[in-house]
Structure 1
């Protein structure tokens, strides 16, 4: 008896101009979807980054005040490699982000500022495919981003934002979740793959603290493995997979 073929991934929609990526830490997007972002910016689309924290608790050998500044610099350099010039940090504490109205408000405010049609975030579920436990920060920010996409368009949720000049934005058409175990859509990595490797390498301090492997070999190996796995369900070409929620 032959095994059923896994469901093929659909191409991501292309009827949009602005995207906003909202994640918890520096490097989350580089591990998650920067090859797709490189493809989009090359095609003339605008992508901005919003990070809940500065990643200040991410390197055991560096105190948070030093680590946060370092990782913020690395994130800005990393974003520039894939054509992203707008990088904002919300100032939540790394490692102890709390899901709730304060986080939703901050993300809704960012959505109102940037007015995207597409919002991108990272896996908001408890595990990575039932194999590894996810971090509380990823879960909180991913879930809050999905909720804030609706909050941003409702005048009566967080009315203080309108008083601050941030009028409701109900133009979010999709929220795309990277790193999902149940993806539905994908973007061909193409030429963006090499830039994604270089983008991840900008987080050199973090990588060197994480592994003894040569940073370039580590970054290229991770990107190759993840994009080839997605490509098995996308015509055999390396790809970045997303779980897409329409609005």
Structure 2
């Protein structure tokens, strides 16, 4: 018998200058695609972050009022490591984010403000590769982001945004989903990996309640393990993968 052919991943589109990453929680991007973001900002591309929540329900030993500002500080520090200075929070409630028009409107407004060609989000499907259940927040935010990329360009869906001075933006050319079990494209993780490790380590308070392992050992093992596995489909180079939807 012959070995099955491994479908190779395509390089990510490169014809863009501005990207907007929209996710549910602090640390979502750091677990998902920070090495790619570091490489992009090195190339002079602009990347901004929008988070639906402040992650206030993520640490059992910290009440939300105490947890939210701590996780916001960690997220801003984490973003700075990979060259991102614009970080916005939409202040939906952590753990109970609801898919619907309110969330779509908030994300469409962010897309109109930042006017990206590339929008990035996280896995919007029910599971992670069929072996682990996804969280409702990830599903809601990922799905709403895919929809809001179109909403942002239609002046009649949320006309109140135009009234607020946010003119329609129909310039989103791709939505790239990180953490997908059906990736189509990839970015070489090697140039940005060390900064990706440092970026995730900025979420130290959260990491220390997740594992008893040394934080750096845990972070490095997690990120390099996924990147090396993805590299089997990207010419042997460690990779960050995305499922890309063209518009």
- Say whether the fold is shared (TM-score over 0.5): yes
Q: TM-score, normalised by structure 1?
A: 0.99
1:84 maps to which residue? 84
Q: Secondary structure at the match of 1:183?
A: coil
Confirm or deny that 1:160 pairs with 2:160.
yes
1:102 maps to which residue? 102
- Cα separation, 2, equivalents of 1:149 and 1:3: 40
Q: Secondary structure at the match of 1:88?
A: strand
| Residues 2-32 of structure 1: per-residue CA shift (max 9 Å, x gap) | 2312210000000000000000000000000
2:63 maps to which residue? 63
Aligned residues: 247
Q: CA deviation at 1:118?
A: 0.0
Computed over aligned residues only, the root mean square deviation of the Cα atoms, in angstroms, reads 0.4
- Cα separation, 2, equivalents of 1:50 and 1:192: 21
- Cα separation, 1, equivalents of 2:46 and 2:138: 24
Q: Secondary structure at the match of 1:194?
A: helix
Q: Secondary structure at the match of 1:120?
A: strand
Query: Which segments of 5 or more consecutive residues in structure 2 lack a partner in the other structure?
Result: none
Q: TM-score, normalised by structure 2?
A: 0.99
| Residues 26-72 of structure 1: per-residue CA shift (max 9 Å, x gap) | 00000000000000000000000000000000000000010011000
| Residues 146-177 of structure 1: per-residue CA shift (max 9 Å, x gap) | 00000000010100000000000000000000
- Cα separation, 2, equivalents of 1:197 and 1:2: 38
For 1:1-247, list aligned pairs within 5 A: 1-247=1-247
Q: CA deviation at 1:230?
A: 1.0
- Cα separation, 1, equivalents of 2:239 and 2:30: 14
Query: Which segments of 5 or more consecutive residues in structure 1 lack a partner in the other structure?
Result: none
- Cα separation, 2, equivalents of 1:231 and 1:8: 9
- Cα separation, 1, equivalents of 2:167 and 2:230: 38
- Cα separation, 2, equivalents of 1:2 and 1:70: 54
- Cα separation, 2, equivalents of 1:123 and 1:6: 22
- Cα separation, 1, equivalents of 2:157 and 2:228: 42
